Structure 1
C-alpha cells in the first residue's frame, strides 16, 4: 500500500502514538492509519504502547506490519495505567511532532494533514481535532440527538485552556512541552490528559483547533448508558476541581465550592424543567453530575478509577 502525500509542513518525522489495552478495535484503527495522507517532506512512524500485563497486542501488530506503509514501534509498558503508556510513547518518540489517537478510533484520510496545516497556520504548540461519535442501534435516541459522546475543545474567554489525547498533535520541541510527562497518579482514574494540557497551557503553550481533522469513535453498548456517562462526567469534574484547588486556597477555595454548588443547582433545576425533552434534560443532568464532581475535587476526595479491568468490561 502506498501512502498519499499532500504538501504542508516541512517536518521530517511525525510519530503517531496509539495506547492500547486489550482492545481488538486496534486493528481498525491501524488500518485507518494505513490510508492517511502524509504531509509533503514528512515521514510517519507509528508507536504502539501496549498497557496490558502481558504483550497481548503483539501478535496483532506483527500481523499488520506488512499491510501498513509506515514503520511500527511496538512497546510493552505494563500495566493498566494509561499514563505509563502515554509516557512510553513520548519516551520512544524520535520526531519533532507527536500525534495521539485512541485505539478504538478511525482516522479520516486527511486527518494528519489537517492537523499539521493548522499548526503551520497558527504556530501552535498543540492542535486538537474533533472526535465524532458513531452510534450503534442500541444507543438511546436522546443520546444520539445530544451527540453526547463526541469530543470538542472548550473555549474560555476565546482561548482553549486544556486539551485531550484522543485527537491531538503536539510539537515536542516547544518549551512548554519539552520533557513534560503525564501524571502516574492519574493513570487509573483518568484526567491525566486534562492535567497535562492545563499545565502546558499555564507554562505558555498555545493550543489551537483544526475543525476538519476528523477521527470517528464507535460507541459500544457498554458506553451507551447514562450510568457510564455520569461516572465519566463525575470524574472529569473531580479532575477540574483538583486543578482549581491547586490554585485556590482558603477563602478562594470556598468561593469556588459555592460557585460549583450554584451551577449544580441550576443544572439540576434545568433538567427538571426540560424533562419532556430527554436529550436536553439528560444533558443538564450530566452537567449537574460534572459540577458535583468539581465539588468533590475541591474537597480533596480521591478520584474514581476508570482504567484497568473495569474499563475493559465497559468496552
Structure 2
C-alpha cells in the first residue's frame, strides 16, 4: 500500500514595526511557539521607518529565533504600506499578523490553525489581552478598556483587526486584496480590509484561546487617547456606511447615530458615580459622534505615525 505524505503547512508570521524596542520581546515569544508537526514557520518583519532603523535589532535577534526571518524596509510612517509589504512577501498557506508590542502565548499559532481547520474560515481572529502598568487609573484596569475582541452582529463577525489574526492566503475573498494607503496614518485600514473581505464572501472565525498580550504604555492609559481612538473608529464606520448608503438612507443613519450618541452621553451623566460605567457610556457616545462625522464625509483623524514615536 502506498503511503500518502501530506505537504507541510507553511505559515508566515508578519510583524509591522516602527521604532519599537518591544519588538525584541515579540520575537522572543514567537521563538518559543508550539508548532504543529511538519509546519514550516517564517517571520516577516516590515520596518515602516524612513530609515531601516529596525534592521540591526532584527539581525541581533536572528540567533535567538529558530525560524527564518525576512526583513523588509517599507518606508514611511504608513501602516498600510507595511501591511501590504507583508502580503506581498508572504508565500505560505497562511499569514498571521501580530503587533510589534505584543507577545504571543505558547499555543497561539496552534489554536489559530485548529480553528482555521475546524471552520474552514478565511480569517481567524484571536483575543488581545491588555496588560496595564500600575500607573493606569484603577477604573481603567478594572474595566479593561484596552483589550481587543471581535464584535458579533446577529451571531456573525462582520469585520476584524490585524493585531491578532490568521489569514488563509488562498481564499478567494483575499485574492489581490490590499490595505488602503489613505488610512495608513489614521487607522481603520484593517476594519475596511476585513469588512470588504466579508462582503466578498469571506468568513471570519474566532479562536478564544489564541491569546496575545499587549502592554498599555502610559501615553495610551488616558481618557484622551481612548476618546481619540473611539472617535476614529466611529469615523471609519460612518465613512463605510456612507459608501453603502446615499440620499435618505444617509440621513436616517445620521439621525440614528446622533440619537445613540445623545443617549450614551445622557447615560454617562446619570452614572457619574460609577467611573467604569460612566467612561464606557461616554466613550460609546464619542464613537457614535464619530459615526456622524464619517457620514458627513469628514476624513479620519491621524492617530499614528509621528504622533506616537517609540524610542529605539
**TM over 0.5, shorter chain:** yes
Determine whether 1:278 maps to 2:275: yes
Q: How many Å separate the matches in 1 of 2:49 and 2:106?
A: 29
- Secondary structure of the equivalent of 1:246? helix
Determine whether 1:90 maps to 2:91: no
| Structure 2 equivalent of residue 197 of structure 1 | 194
Q: Is the 8 A contact 1:223 1:314 kept in 2?
A: no
Determine whether 1:226 maps to 2:232: no
Determine whether 1:36 maps to 2:13: no
Q: How many Å separate the matches in 1 of 2:190 and 2:286?
A: 20
Q: How many Å separate the matches in 2 of 1:281 and 1:313?
A: 31
Pick aligned residue for 1:133 from 130, 133, 150: 130
- Secondary structure of the equivalent of 1:190? coil
Q: How does 1:207-222 map to 2 (within 5 A)?
A: 207-222=204-219
| Structure 2 equivalent of residue 251 of structure 1 | 248
Q: Mark the runs of 5 or more structure 1 residues left unpaired by the alignment.
A: 1-8
Determine whether 1:115 maps to 2:112: yes
Give how far 1:30 is off. 0.5
Determine whether 1:294 maps to 2:284: no
| Structure 2 equivalent of residue 58 of structure 1 | 55
| Structure 2 equivalent of residue 69 of structure 1 | 66
Pick aligned residue for 2:13 from 13, 16, 30: 16
Q: Is the 8 A contact 1:10 1:40 kept in 2?
A: no
Q: How many Å separate the matches in 2 of 1:307 and 1:135?
A: 21
Q: How many Å separate the matches in 1 of 2:310 and 2:10?
A: 36
Q: How many Å separate the matches in 1 of 2:59 and 2:240?
A: 40
Give how far 1:37 is off. 0.7
**1:76-95 superposed Cα distances (whole Å, 9 cap, x missing partner):** 00000000000000000010
Q: How many Å separate the matches in 2 of 1:60 and 1:112?
A: 24
- Secondary structure of the equivalent of 2:302? coil
Pick aligned residue for 1:263 from 249, 260, 265: 260
Give how far 1:40 is off. 2.0
Q: Is the 8 A contact 1:11 1:96 kept in 2?
A: no
- Secondary structure of the equivalent of 1:170? strand
Q: How many Å separate the matches in 1 of 2:65 and 2:57?
A: 12
| Structure 1 equivalent of residue 3 of structure 2 | none
Q: How many Å separate the matches in 2 of 1:168 and 1:280?
A: 30
Give how far 1:217 is off. 0.3
Q: How many Å separate the matches in 2 of 1:82 and 1:305?
A: 12
Q: How many Å separate the matches in 2 of 1:314 and 1:206?
A: 38
Q: Is the 8 A contact 2:115 2:124 kept in 1?
A: yes
| Structure 1 equivalent of residue 182 of structure 2 | 185
The CA RMSD measured in Å over matched residues stands at 1.3
Q: Is the 8 A contact 2:20 2:310 kept in 1?
A: no
Equivalent pairs, count: 307
| Structure 2 equivalent of residue 3 of structure 1 | none
Determine whether 1:80 maps to 2:77: yes
Change (3 A) 1:147 1:11: farther
**1:146-197 superposed Cα distances (whole Å, 9 cap, x missing partner):** 1000000000011000000000000010000011000001011110000000
Determine whether 1:170 maps to 2:137: no
